[in-house]
């Protein structure tokens, strides 16, 4: 079955056009050549290295008018690459408070999502399936915490985790708050 380029919508599997893929996006050779000099690196030395490459690639994608669904796939790629480098401290609880802290301000609902490894998700009998969900939950919690920090929060209360099987993803939601230690 021929694959169609997500950018120009031409057939991307001819003899002269090898298709490149990023997530679910298929990119024909002609479209890939527009960003070839700024293409994805497969390995990174640091979080800063990832962010620098991401900024360059995202700028090129936007300047070359790549569609939002392709840009989204690149964003997901970079989030996956950043994950091992992000050893952030997270204050997240399923309850409405933290022992030893008081909530100074409520900043609103936040959420984070992460795809479950589809290979692990495809069969409940496979060993390691729970690890795939746990890893996705951890990435979703990190994404929710990043959103909370963008709002100025330092914690999340009332966190809830949902596994959305139809989409093979985990969603973490909660309320972003600013907490301070009690005296």
pTM exceeds 0.75 for this model:
no
Secondary structure letter of residue 98 according to DSSP: -
For 17-52, how does the pLDDT look when each residue is reduced to its tens digit (9 = 90+)? 555 777 677 888 788 777 766 666 777 888 788 888
Secondary structure letter of residue 165 according to DSSP: T
For 43-66, how does the pLDDT look when each residue is reduced to its tens digit (9 = 90+)? 788 878 888 888 888 888 888 888
Mean pLDDT of the chain: 80
Pull the structure tokens for residue 164.
């959305």
Sequence length of the chain is 183
Give the SS3 label for residue 112: strand
Q: What pLDDT is recorded for position 129?
A: 46
Q: Which residues lie below 8 Å from residue 98, measured CB to CB, with a gap of 6+?
A: 91, 155, 157, 179
Q: How many angstroms separate the CA atoms of 70 and 31, rounded?
A: 12
Which segments in the chain show pLDDT lower than 50? 15-16, 120-131
Q: How many angstroms separate the CA atoms of 27 and 10, rounded?
A: 9
Q: How far is CA 85 from the centre of its chain?
A: 14
């Amino acid at each position: 079955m021929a694959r169609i380029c997500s950018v120009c919508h031409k057939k991307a599997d001819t003899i002269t056009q090898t298709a490149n893929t990023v997530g679910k996006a298929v990119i024909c050779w002609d479209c890939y050549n527009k960003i070839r000099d700024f293409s994805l690196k497969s390995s990174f030395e640091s979080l800063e290295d990832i962010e620098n490459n991401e900024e360059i690639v995202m700028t090129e994608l936007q300047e070359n008018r790549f569609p939002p669904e392709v840009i989204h796939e690149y964003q997901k790629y970079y989030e996956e690459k950043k994950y091992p480098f992000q050893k952030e401290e997270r204050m997240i609880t399923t309850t409405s408070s933290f022992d030893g802290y008081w909530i100074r301000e409520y900043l609103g609902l936040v959420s984070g999502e992460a795809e479950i490894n589809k290979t692990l998700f495809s069969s409940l009998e496979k060993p390691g399936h729970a690890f795939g969900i746990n890893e996705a939950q951890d990435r979703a919690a990190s994404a929710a915490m990043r959103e909370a920090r963008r709002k100025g929060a330092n914690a999340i209360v009332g966190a809830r985790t949902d596994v959305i099987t139809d989409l093979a993803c985990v969603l973490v939601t909660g309320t972003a708050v600013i907490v301070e230690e009690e005296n």
